[in-house]
Amino acid sequence: EVQLVQSGAEVKKPGESLKISCKGSGYIFSNYWIHWLRQMPGRGPEWMGGVYPADSDIRYSPSFQGQVTISVDKSTDTAYLQWRSLEASDTAMYYCARRDVVSGIIEWLDPWGQGTLVTVSS
């Protein structure tokens, strides 16, 4: 079974750093992009960026460029999302999702991880 398992919920203070993870299993991890998405309370998901584990190619949404860092460790089939200095506005659920493609152009996100709730509060 193809599966993405994310790290657990985090409660942090403003200014603190954080790194959350997403571990893939049931498929060849290196061959598929992993994307990160933010969902703020009561809102729809937003695409943040993604990483291609085979060559560590990373793409960011313009909205998140410079705000977060995406990375990957092929040896452990794990992708990461990190912040250097959290703000209260970073409070949200964060999902990872695998990008699949057919015919080189039709893409979708499936499966998704279970989500990591990040709460930033003083």
* Residue 45 C-beta: closest distance to another protein, Å: 5
Q: For residues 14-27, b (16+ Cβ closer than 10 Å) or e, as one string? A: eeeebebbbbbeeb
In which region does residue 15 sit, left (phi positive, over 0), alpha (psi from -120 to 50) or beta (all else)? left
Nearest in space to 43 (alpha carbons), one of 85, 86, 94: 94
Nearer to another protein, 2 or 15 (CB): 2
User: Please, which residues have CB within 8 angstroms of residue 76's CB and are 6 or more apart in sequence?
Assistant: 23
Nearer to another protein, 33 or 83 (CB): 33
Under rule CB under 8 A, residue 38 binds another protein: no
Residue ranges in 85-104 that form contacts with another protein under rule CB under 8 A = 95, 97, 102
Task: Select the residue interacting with another protein from 8, 41, 62, 66 (CB under 8 A).
Answer: 62
- How many residues interact with another protein (rule CB under 8 A)? 21
Under rule CB under 8 A, residue 46 binds another protein: yes
Task: Select the residue interacting with another protein from 35, 72, 79, 86 (CB under 8 A).
Answer: 35
Helices and strands (H, E) in the chain, number of each type: 0, 11
Under rule CB under 8 A, residue 64 binds another protein: no
